Structure 1
Amino acid sequence: MVFILALLAAIALIWCLSAITEKIRLGLSLSQALLYAPFKLFYRICDSRIQLARNAQAPLIYVVTHQSRIDPALMLSLLPDDTLHILDSVTAKSIWMEPWRELARTIAFNAEHVFVSRRLVRALKGKGRLAVYIPANVEPDLRSFRLYRAVIRIAIQANARIVPIFIGGAQTLPFQASGKAPATRHWFPRLKISVLEPMNAAELLARNGSPANRNAHALFDRVAEARLAATDEDQSLFQAVRNAAENFGPGRIALEDATGSKLSYRRLLTGARVLGRDIAGRTRPGESVGIMLPNANATVLALLGIASAGRVSALVNFTAGPANIEAAMNTAVVRIIVSSRSFVEKARLEEIVQALEAVGMEFLWLEDFRASATLREKLCAALLWRYPLIRQDAQKPAVILFTSGSEGLPKAAILSHRNLIANAMQAEARVTISTDDIALNVLPMFHSFGLTAGTLLPLFNGIRLFLYPSPLHYKLIAQLAGRIKPTVMFGTDTFLAQYGRAASDGDFSSLRFAVAGAEAVRDETRKLWRERFGTAIIEGYGLTEAAPVVAVNTAIHGREGTVGRLLPGMAMRIEKVDGVAEGGRLFLAGPNVMMGYMTAERPGELQPLEEGWHDTGDIITVDNEGFITITGRAARFAKIAGEMVPLGILEVLAQDLWPQERHAVISIPDSKRGERIILVTTASKANVESLRKAGKQAGIAPLAIPATIIKVEEIPALGSGKTDYRHTRQLALEELGSSKK
């Protein structure tokens, strides 16, 4: 009995001391501090940003993302006691919430009341504070989205500022506000309270450079930024996967590839540590190490092993040819390349290997590595799998990717650990995914879309990932999808169209959606997937320099013909272009935008971006809800008789006329009109007269219509499936040259 009393007294003392500490530290009332102290002790809450919410000048609306049942209790304990909290009906009636409800004024949530009430505006005017709890859906339905409209309307009428609040980690608590148990349950996760700076409606609209973004969408974007801010970007790729292992279970299967090999998080990180130690013994800290491997478990293992050793992965585009690959490796100053003899043999890459070895580059063959790894090294790695080999720095380079070079010579884009992790988390804050999903990635990792969206995003979020080595095996990929039943898939329009035609009716029926990027999605591809598989293709926009995702449609918030809306945390700047009447040239900034370039003229030297802004070279328009339409590239305009002609529109025109074929429109110098437009096409029936008629109906000036058509069996393409305009232009010039002889 004495022991029990002593124990209770010790608990009471700890409770009181903790409450006093929180009262002094945060300026809480004694009642608030006493009720907050248990949360602080149990959940080890990071609350350094809450003072921003407490000290902000009223009138204010706190917009809290409502994930778990404890969220209102936390906010009642932490927000100023003169705040009016609008609670849902369950929270307003729960018996256990009674002590917290006594801390401040509360009213029960009533949807109709919230949308029409003048009482809330009156409560805010002057020095009022209001806390509204928004459903936690990443993609809110139309009914939930009404709440965003209501909040922004009330803020405008009351001249109030808005403070978004998100409690990171609360999504894993067993008592969810939605009533649905989380896929991964933790009773006492570490919580992080994310609070953003207060902004009024006008500031929200002007924040990311969008010219006419609607109020509700601006608030929706701001709330998504609060979600993003709750994630830990200050970690390396190795640490991010390690954290996923701890969140979702070390024994959870993370990867599977076409060989049938399956890797749990623990086995993946163990193997990465063994390989990383071998690489560390051959290289210097910060040195670039090449990876020439297909989509397979070994590629991810090499990527994480190199990161663990504090080196930088230079991903080799093995479809680029010996000369381009040698130039790329010289630009990145690569001495050692990780590869596999069996892969080189199957992919017939012997010529590339010989060319690289001839200039002094060394290959680390995975077959040799497996044979040479000692039992001691394997045991040490198995014990220390959670820990990287050297101290990690999220701000340092993690990966070197080479731009597609569709219009010129490729450049080396340097992406930090933070760039890659931020981009994966930006996508996670916009598109609904869960641990119930199975992802199929056929896009090569040397392509930024295949690396970040197709590989890292699933790994960080506990999604089982299946890697397939080549996107060109159309029939085999369709059959594979029918067997493994993926729910999420990544591809380009070119590849998705081929898969859709090669598949049997049920092969892709398990997909919730397919994410398409790298090139515009054609209407016939959407129709094919919708009619055959009942699957929506959600289109996005990205570039290697942005790690790569910049904007994306979602299943609920989407608009065909656009590439979606800007990701949270990014800012855009649109500059006018001479001769372009609508829209302008897009500049981007954000946590996912690269550190800078390396070029062949200055190998190994990082050339940082000017003031953090990247010139995309893309010409865009933005509608009043923030949806972005790509109208062309600055390099994809031709100047004909003084008029700027977007070549992309002409490709769309040809695609509408001959939808089953591939088309590329290029321009070449012309002594009379400045430039000459040429259509390169696989359509054997293509003719100038049909183009002119269609152009007239579409309102395209006659001088813009290609007067020359070159028919080919195949349009040159990059490894990602995008049109290779540089080689298409060379092909056209050769064809025109031979026709003159």
Structure 2
Amino acid sequence: MRKVLDNIARRLGWFFFKYVMGVKVTGLENLPKDGEKYVLIANHQSFLDVPLMMSMMRKPNFIFPADTFIAQKPFLKFIFGLTTTQIFPLNPANPMSLRHLIRFSQDNADSPVVIFPEGRITTTGALMKIYSGAGMVADKTDAKILPVRLEGLQYSKFSRLQHLGIPLKWFPRGVQMHILPMQEIDVPDELVGRARRMAVTQCVSDIMVESHASTTNTDMTLFEKVFSSAHKYGLDREMLSDITRVPMTYKKLLQAAHVVGRRLSKHTKSGEYVGLLLPNANGVAATFLGLSKFGRVPAMLNFSAGEANLKNAIKAANIKTVYTSHAFVVAAKLSETVEALKEVVEVRYMEDVRKSVNIFHKIDAALFALRPLTPQYKPTDPSVVLFTSGSEGAPKGVVLSHKNIMTNYAQLHAKFDFNPADRLLGAMPMFHSFGLMGCFLLPLFLGIRAFLYPSPLHFRAIPELVYDFRATIMFGTDTFLSRYARFAHPYDFFTTRMVFAGAEKLKEETRSKWARDFGVKVIEGYGATETSPALCVNTLMESKPGTGGKLLPMVEHHLHDMEGIEEGGRLHVRAPNVMLGYLRVDNPGVIEPPHTAEEGPGWYDTGDIVKIDDEGFVHILDRAKRFAKVAGEMVPLGTVEKGINEAWKDDHHAILAVEDSLKGEKLVLFTTNDKIDRSALKKELKANKLPDLYLPREVLYISPMPLLGTGKTDYPKLKKQYLEEQKA
């Protein structure tokens, strides 16, 4: 009788989930064959998770461990009493409970154990901390892991996301269940006790993160993702604001993007690279999405790069039209630069575009802006062109596809619990990959309210804005974060829970000051414009100070030996978030795909020397180009620079390597401290146990230190100045 009731319940459940909720199941071919022992693990999104898996997988004899308090509820006892599925009461306060579950699983070898490793329904919509139970059951019973990723039920009224203020439905459509290939717990046999438990738990955590990232839909364009998010989180949800303090909802953003995109498409061609010379503001958001909607590719120009670099960028991407703003040009004192650009490109102004909009354009937007769009381009087509900083030569155009960026979004979303209750201050410029993803696209994809601020250099104003906006998330470089901390009130960051540092190495002094003065843990990551941009990250749960964190899921890597480098190697990577390729000044408009001599097509040489430790954390040692060969020995310029920065923390220092007739190359120190000389440097080197070979041959005073728009030292400019002075 129980089997009959079980069969009826499962069939009714299958019909309900398939036809009422439209659940899509992928990976049924990965279901184990009869006799294979496995533990099924899944993320926990709602109270419907268990009935969904029981109905769609049609396995009659699962074992579901549940908290004793929950397992004893009469309703659940009644429901499970009608089926062949077994519920196993598990007391989290009793350390013997897990052993009893392992023994029960061994005694019922034909019944797979189903465990939610998070131990609770998510309250963030993302993965939460992972408990050891699932891994230990698999490890002790010699079972494999069958990962299942559930998606969509977190937006039902059966979830626990009511506090996030997003629309929840009784039965949301588009729910998915992904069944992935089975995996083994890969832990060394010699590990025992607590070390083994930790390793097994980490293995399960890695499997779940990989499952989350690999099953997120990345086959969509950026505009399609924003459009989808608008309907998911609510068209009337306020999303963006800027220094005008005029909020923009998803609905207004989509309508503005439609109007602007339609107007700009009259002067540009499909697939054309269109230059944008605009600051962080609501207007640039609408312009970017408008170009994207109508098949144009925004090329984000760095307005702090100077005339020569801007002209090189325009030439490399074969840009024919640049859009800017009269108000911005005046405010940023770019009039001479823009006039010079008119020699090589047509410059148009957004004020003129705005004036050309009439009632018919607004009616068109009202009728069509909120309708689903059939894109005229593919996810693998270019979505944006960004430009390298020029820190090591002429800027190159970096072409990122929609899929590149969507993949990086999926990788980051699998690692962090971003949610619609967050509020983000976006001061990093959108011409920087860090700013484009972190301050613009990520908030729009995830329903996070964002305040777009035009410059990260307002060190007094930004902490006050964080306080006023009640920002929970912000992004910055070490240079910017250290200066915000210098001018901030201790209470300015009282709502801030995540501060991300990238683009340059985070100094220990900056990390400590944020933790000590504001109680905020700065999260360091590492990446490149070419990787859309993140490549590895620390997280709130997995962190090692002084490292770039662990490589993101779906990233392959190789470390290549370098002459004179005993520890670590040159990092090459391949991943779906690696760029389509470069645009170069000497081959304008032609995409040069990533390629390395060692691995071949698809691989990207980061140019960085890194070490990866036993736990998987990536230690960035230096740029390959930031090594000097002095008297036949390799000298890491970053190490020398770091030692000097630690000795004179209130000043700015930069080390260059220049040709030397005696020893091949010599080190030259540029510093904003006119009191430093070689004898003081020698004393500091000795204190830090660094060899005399690391001592700069020359010490030159400079003020101010030339910087790029990201806050990094402008090494090419320094070298140019030095060589010109030597010739003089």
**Same fold judged by TM-score > 0.5?**
yes
Alignment counterpart, residue 457 of structure 1, candidates 427, 430, 442 = 442
Structure 1 portions without partners, runs of 5+: 1-27, 206-212
Partner residue, 1:132 = 115
Residue matched to 1:479: 464
Amino acid at match of 1:161: K
Q: Distance in 2 between matches of 1:141 and 1:488?
A: 16
CA gap of 1:585–1:68, structure 2 versus 1, over 3 A, is same
State the match for 1:65 in structure 2.
43
Match of 1:564 among 534, 549, 560: 549
Could you tell me which residue of structure 1 aligns to residue 618 of structure 2? 628
Give the fraction of aligned pairs with identical amino acids, expressed as a percent.
35
d(CA) in 1 for partners of 2:66, 2:451: 42
Counterpart residue type for residue 366 of structure 1: M
Change in CA separation of 1:374 and 1:305 when aligned onto 2, cut-off 3 Å? same
CA deviations on 1:473-504 (whole Å, 9 max, x unpaired) are 21222322232221111111111111121223
Structure 2 vs 1, CA of residues 323 and 104 (structure 1 numbering), >3 Å: closer, same or farther?
A: same
Q: For the structure 1 residues 638 and 591, does the alpha-carbon distance in structure 2 shift closer, same or farther, using more than 3 Å as the test? A: same
SS at match of 1:465: strand
Give distance in 1, aligned partners of 2:125 and 2:168.
23
Partner residue, 1:594:
579
Matched, 1:47 2:25: yes
Structure 1 pair 52–724 and aligned structure 2 pair: CA distance change class (3 A): same
Letter in structure 1 aligned against 2:206:
D
Question: Is this contact kept in 1: 2:313–2:387, CA < 8 A?
Answer: yes
Alignment equivalent of 2:351, drawn from 360, 367, 384: 367
Question: Partner of 2:171 in structure 1?
Answer: 188
Question: 3-state SS of the aligned residue for 2:510?
Answer: helix
**What amino acid is the match of 1:381?**
A
Q: Kindly state the Cα deviation for residue 45 of structure 1 after the two structures are TM-superposed.
A: 0.8
Determine whether 1:267 maps to 2:248. Answer: no
Inter-partner Cα distance in structure 2 for 1:541 and 1:697: 30
Give the direction of change, closer, same or farther, for the CA distance of 1:144–1:518 in structure 2 (3 Å limit): closer
> 1:551 offset after TM fit, Å?
1.5
Is the contact made by 1:403 and 1:413 (CA closer than 8 Å) also made in structure 2? Answer: yes
> Within 5 A, what are the aligned runs for 1:696-711?
696-711=686-701
- 1:256-298 per-position Cα deviation (integer Å, ceiling 9, x unaligned): 0012222100010101011111222222211111111001111
Q: Structure 1 CA distance, aligned partners of 2:35 and 2:341?
A: 63
8 Å Cα contact 1:641/1:673 also seen in 2: yes
> Partners in 1 of 2:97 and 2:572 — Cα distance?
39
Residue 380 in structure 1 maps to residue 364 in structure 2: yes
Change (3 A) 1:727 1:505: same
Partner of 1:22: none
Give secondary structure in 2 for the equivalent of 1:325. Answer: helix
Matched position secondary structure for 2:117? strand
1:168–1:227 Cα contact (<8 Å) kept: no
SS at 2:279's partner residue?
coil
Which secondary structure does the structure 2 equivalent of 1:451 belong to? helix
Indicate if the aligned counterparts of 1:448 and 1:548 stay in contact, CA closer than 8 A.
yes
Change (3 A) 1:674 1:49: same
**What do the CA deviations read for 1:612-667 (whole angstroms, capped 9, x no partner)?**
22111111112222221101111111122222221111111111101112222221
Q: Spell out the pairing of 1:604-619 with structure 2 (5 A cutoff).
A: 604-610=589-595, 611-619=601-609
1:58 positional shift: 2.0
Deviation, structure 1 residue 115: 4.4
The CA distance in 2 between the partners of 1:721 and 1:347, in whole Å, is 17
* Mapping 1:548-587, distance limit 5 Å: 548-587=533-572
1:199 equivalent in structure 2: 183
Q: Distance in 1 between matches of 2:80 and 2:253?
A: 45
Task: Report Cα offsets for 1:447-468 as digits up to 9, x if no partner.
Answer: 0000001211111111100011
Structure 1 residue 200: Cα displacement: 1.3
Determine if contact 2:44/2:122 at 8 Å carries over to the other structure.
no
| 2:661 paired with 1:671 | yes
Correspondent of 2:639 among 634, 649, 652: 649
Specify the code of the residue in structure 2 equivalent to 1:60: Y
Look up the equivalent residue of 1:133 and give its one-letter code: F
Residue 725 (str. 1) matches residue 715 (str. 2) = yes
- 2:221–2:379 CA contact under 8 A, matched in 1: yes
What is the aligned-residue RMSD (CA, Å)?
Answer: 2.8
Mapped to 2, the partners of 1:622 and 1:556 lie a distance apart of 19
Deviation per CA, 1:61-110, whole angstroms, max 9, x where unpaired? 21111121111222222343344332344653455554456243331234
Distance 1:495 1:107 in 2: 53
Separation (CA, whole Å) in 1 of partners of 2:188 and 2:287: 42
How far 1:444 moved relative to its partner?
Answer: 0.6
Asked if 1 retains the 8 angstrom alpha-carbon contact of 2:388 and 2:397, the reply is yes
- Quote the offset at 1:236 in angstroms: 1.2
Amino acid across the alignment from 1:589: R
In structure 2, distance between residues paired with 1:324 and 1:315: 13
Closer/same/farther in 2, CA of residues 113 and 44 from structure 1, 3 Å limit: farther
CA change 1:57–1:412 in 2 (3 A) is farther
Q: Name the aligned partner's letter for residue 70 of structure 1.
A: L
Separation in 1, partners of 2:169, 2:646: 53
- Pick which of 628-637 and 78-87 moved more: 78-87
Cα 1:598–1:114 change in 2 (3 A) is farther
1:81–1:446 distance in 2 versus 1, CA, 3 Å:
same
- 1:726 Cα deviation (Å)? 1.6
- What is the rounded CA distance, in whole Å, between the counterparts of 1:175 and 1:563 in structure 2? 38
Contact 1:139 1:556 in 2 (8 A): no
- Distance between the aligned counterparts of 1:663 and 1:460, measured in 2? 39
Count of residue correspondences: 701
Kindly indicate which of the two structures has a greater share of residues assigned to helix.
Answer: 1
Note the 1:133-148 alignment, pairs <5 A. 133-135=116-118, 144-147=129-132
Matched, 1:276 2:261: yes
Offset from partner CA, 1:548-596 (integer Å, 9 cap, x none):
0112222332221112122223222222222211111111222211111
**Compared CA separation, residues 581 and 711, structure 1 to 2 (3 A):** same
Counterparts of 1:689 and 1:125 in 2: how far apart (Å)?
A: 75
2:466 counterpart SS class:
helix
What is the identity, as a one-letter code, of the residue corresponding to 1:628?
V
Q: Structure 2: how far apart are the matches of 1:568 and 1:163? A: 18
Counterpart mapping for 1:359-438 below 5 A: 359=344, 361-386=345-370, 387-388=372-373, 390-438=375-423
Query: Equivalents in 1 of 2:561, 2:104: separation in Å?
Result: 40
| Structure 1 position 52, deviation (Å) | 1.8
Structure 2 unpaired stretches of 5+: 1-5, 190-197, 596-600
CA contact (8 A) 2:525 2:549 kept: yes
Whole-angstrom distance in 2 between the partners of 1:710 and 1:124: 76
Aligned residue number for residue 638 of structure 1: 628
SS in 2 for 1:185: coil
- 2:433 and 2:516 map into 1 onto residues whose CA distance is 30
What is the alpha-carbon distance in structure 1 between the residues aligned to residue 502 and residue 154 of structure 2? 29
Name the structure 2 match of 1:693.
Answer: 683
What do residues 166-216 of structure 1 show as CA deviations (whole Å, max 9, x unaligned)? 2111222222369977754232222111232222133999xxxxxxx9553
Whole-angstrom CA distance in 1 between matches of 2:27 and 2:126: 30
Specify whether residues 128 and 716 from structure 1 end up closer, same or farther in structure 2 by C-alpha distance, changes over 3 A only.
farther
Partners in 2 of 1:719 and 1:156 — Cα distance? Answer: 51
Cα distance in structure 1, aligned partners of 2:21 and 2:647: 61
User: Retained in 2: the 8 A contact 1:168–1:230?
Assistant: no
For 1:141 and 1:630, locate their aligned partners in 2 and report how far apart those are by CA, in whole Å. 29
SS of the aligned residue for 2:563 comes to coil
Report if aligned partners of 2:63, 2:86 keep a CA contact under 8 Å in 1: yes
| DSSP 3-state at the match of 1:508 | coil
Q: 1:583 to 1:496 in 2, by over 3 A?
A: same
382-391 vs 166-175, which moves further = 382-391
- The code of the aligned residue for 1:623 comes to D
The letter of the residue matching 1:201 is I
What TM-score does the superposition give when structure 1 sets the normalisation length?
0.89
Paired with 2:330 and 2:491, the residues of 1 have a C-alpha distance of 34
Aligned with 1:281: secondary structure? coil
Secondary structure in 2 aligned to 1:66? Answer: coil
Structure 2 vs 1, CA of residues 668 and 29 (structure 1 numbering), >3 Å: closer, same or farther? farther
